[in-house]
Chains A and B, each alone.
Chain A
Amino acid sequence: MNDNSMEKVITPSPWGGQGRGLTLFEKIWDAHVVQNVTDGPTQLYIDRLYCHEVTSPQAFEGMRSRGLKCLRPGQIFCMPDHNTPTHDQDKPIEDPVSKTQVDTLAKNAEDFGLTHFGMMDKRNGIIHVVGPERGLSLPGMTIVCGDSHTSTHGAVGAVAFGIGTSEVEMVMASQCILQQKPKSMRINIEGTLQWGVTAKDIALYLMSKLTTSGATGYFVEYAGSAVKGLSMEGRLTLCNLSIEMGARGGFIAPDEVTFAYLKGREYAPKGDDWDKAVEGWRNLKSDDDAVFDKELTFQAEDIEPMVTYGTNPGMGMGITQSIPTLDTVDEAGKASFLKSLDYMGFKPGEQLLGKKIDYVFLGACTNGRIEDFRMFAQLVKGHKKADNVTAWLVPGSWMVDSQIREEGIDKVLEAAGFEIRQPGCSACLAMNDDKIPAGKLSVSTSNRNFEGRQGPGARTILASPLVAAAAAVTGVVTDPRSLMLNF
């Protein structure tokens, strides 16, 4: 199943890279080393810490019990996103436990002197959507958050990775983290993507080839003409999913696309500072003679719209393909494979095309950006939502919500029978009310199809906004290319 025929494994590179070029990862990492602890990890300086309400309260609690203040409060930004309801955000949250968690973040931010974008603040949204769109995440930075999808911010050319709550506390206390330096991997996607194939499909394709642990221990640099050809939104989607193949982070060297996206954003440098910053950022690339610990190359033409059939994101296939048969699964993996298909209610060897679905979710830090809404709207235009489908369309932030309205996308969606909800993580992990009921099948643009992820007993097919839109208007798993007459 893991056909890495293009794989080229290189003998691990010497520490520090003497006598050869450096990878971009090494350049950014090395520039943030405070010290290398003897026979231990690196003490790494962190430029940005993002905090959401779920993984921060115990860190603040730890700070209080140690009697500590945040060392660099100006570099820490907080916002609730996981628990926020996607309706009536102007009213108090109904679930008292969710409300407590959201209120606790506001109070902690105030007590520790940190910037906080609360619910209904026009800057609020999913932390991994807000960071880049406010210009808080910039090229060359080190960025962490108690959230595995922090890899998203790598799309601007930063070293960004998810951490645990104890590590959040470390950064609050010292603006540093102790980490083992990961290895470097480069993944090249060459050529031109087929019509109807998106950044999400690239990521699902990579996971299906590498499995969910294929990049564990590595930081991934995405390169190649198909990657360079992606918009900033597409790049954010691709980097977002790095963790789903086990990589701590993934990033793309900054270029004109990056600079054009960041220019003028609220926290990006302005005037002369901007020009100076861009001049420096242009040097942020791997040297021509840089040596990667591992390098893989794939052809964009080989990728078709993807769907997952199992209960981890690596269990994916082209939408026209069939679920693998049992004899193709190795012995140690058979129990997990069968458990997974049993949960999904699918059989080895069957196709998913034509399967009746119940829910569609467009949103999450993976696909909750303006381009995702544009794609979804373009496909559903002229069609109607299928009667058997409940659709939740959740913008990643209030900024995305305003763009949707400015561009008139809301009108297209409403005409096709869809409504737009308020921003947040929503049904990606169902910590708010947006839970897919047990047994129901959802086509979701989020990042995880784990058992119960979208609600206890919920069954998830991960896919792109185009595949989600095609399912939403036909009521069954449908190849979006068969409907893309509007393109």
Chain B
Amino acid sequence: MKQKFDIIQSTCIPLPLENVDTDQIIPARFLKATTRDERFFGDNLFRDWRYDKQGEPKQDFVFNQPDFCEAPHKGIHEILVAGKNFGSGSSREHAAWAIAGYGFRVVISSFFADIHKNNELNNFVLPVVVSEDFLAELFASIKADPQTEVRVDVPNQTVTNLATGRTEQFDINGYKKYCLMNALDDIDFLLENQDKIEAYESAR
């Protein structure tokens, strides 16, 4: 969903696993939809880790634990913190729709797979790349206190672990930052540049 980004301060949900692939984020059997119903995808986010075969919540999965089961809303659980190489594998944008649909606005990891990272950005979910150290410390902070908050300041491109005060800069190009802060998407931009496309084609 198109929404403007500024400063997000929220508690987090930790997922300290590496190489979380998009088949886990949203299994293939949920890809048969022909509409972009984010709520449907959000309900099935991490489906096979979250629910057993009978559809009962698995207590060992973080979303179902008392400290983290509250659904995301302003200031609460709007940030997912994941191990490195998050979103590897299939290009399915349904994974980004599921993350957005569940209510996450930011995903923090030390490393994202390329296609998924673009998919998050195109759905107004901000992927924030932090150092391995920052990530390990953040997991430790959340383990010590599940109420640990993180502040993501898009205009200044900083991310802060409020439990320790540690701050890092994160990368985002000026164009994409402008798009996120103004709720504009790439198609808006491309349509404005149609003359350049035609000029390119006739010069080939």
Contact = CB atoms under 8 A, between A and B. Distances in A.
Contacts of B115: 148, 162-164, 248
Nearest to B194: A174
Interface string A1-36: 000000000000000000000000000000000110
Contact of A148 (B89, B123, B175, B196): B89
Interface stretch (B4-12, B22-30, B62-70, B153-161): B22-30
B173 A40 contact: yes
Nearest to B29: A431
Interface stretch (A120-128, A209-217, A295-303): A209-217
Interface residues of B, number: 54
Contacts of B84: 213, 332
A246 B190 contact: no
Nearest to A83: B32
Contacts of A66: 187
B71 interface: no
B85 A246 contact: yes
Interface in B107-144: 111, 113-115, 118-119, 122-123, 132, 136
Contact of B31 (A68, A246, A431): A431
B31 A169 contact: no
Interface in A231-288: 243-244, 246, 248
Nearest to A34: B200
B16 A335 contact: yes
A401 B115 CA distance: 32
B169 interface: no
Most buried by A among B28, B29, B83, B193: B28
Given A43-B193, A43-B196, A430 B28 contact: yes
Given A55-B92, A246-B85, A448-B89, A39 B174 contact: yes
Contacts of A162: 91, 115
B88 interface: yes
Interface string A128-172: 000000000000000000111010000000000011111101100
Interface string A152-196: 000000000011111101100111101110100000000000000
A178 B190 CA distance: 8
Contacts of B19: 212-213, 312, 314, 336
A174 B201 CA distance: 12
B185 interface: yes
A248 B200 CA distance: 25
B114 A246 contact: yes
Contacts of B83: 332, 336
B1 interface: no
B21 interface: yes
Contacts of B48: 451-452, 456
B186 A166 contact: yes
A326 interface: no
A56 to B, nearest CB: 9
A246 B90 CA distance: 11
Most buried by A among B16, B32, B173: B32
Contacts of A243: 89
A431 B35 CA distance: 17
A101 B34 contact: yes
B201 to A, nearest CB: 8
Contacts of A101: 32, 34
Contact of B85 (A82, A164, A212, A438): A212
Nearest to B85: A213
A163 B186 CA distance: 14
B107 to A, nearest CB: 15
Contacts of A178: 186, 189-190
A212 B89 CA distance: 9
A182 B117 CA distance: 14
A166 B185 contact: yes
Contacts of B197: 34, 45, 71, 174-176
Most buried by A among B48, B53, B189: B189
A334 to B, nearest CB: 10
Contacts of B34: 57-58, 61, 100-101, 104
A167 B19 CA distance: 24
B18 interface: yes
B73 interface: no
A164 B132 contact: no
A144 to B, nearest CB: 10
A55 B93 contact: yes
A38 interface: yes
B36 interface: yes
Interface in A68-114: 68, 71, 82-83, 97-98, 100-101, 104
B176 interface: yes
Contacts of A213: 19, 84-85, 88, 111, 113
A182 B113 CA distance: 13
Nearest to A174: B190
Contacts of A40: 173-176
Contacts of A180: 173
B191 A173 contact: yes
A440 interface: no
17 contacts: A35-B196, A39-B175, A41-B176, A45-B197, A55-B93, A58-B36, A97-B32, A100-B32, A148-B89, A162-B91, A164-B91, A166-B185, A174-B191, A213-B84, A243-B89, A246-B114, A456-B27
Given A66-B187, A451-B23, 15 more contacts: A40-B175, A54-B92, A62-B36, A82-B31, A162-B115, A163-B91, A166-B93, A166-B187, A174-B194, A176-B197, A178-B186, A216-B114, A332-B136, A431-B29, A431-B31
Interface of A: 34-35, 37-41, 43, 45, 54-55, 57-58, 61-62, 66, 68, 71, 82-83, 97-98, 100-101, 104, 146-148, 150, 162-167, 169-170, 173-176, 178-180, 182, 211-213, 216-217, 243-244, 246, 248, 312, 314, 332-333, 335-336, 339, 429-431, 438, 448, 450-453, 456
Q: Which 9 A-B pairs have the closest CB atoms?
A: A40-B175, A39-B174, A164-B93, A166-B122, A164-B119, A57-B34, A174-B190, A148-B91, A162-B91
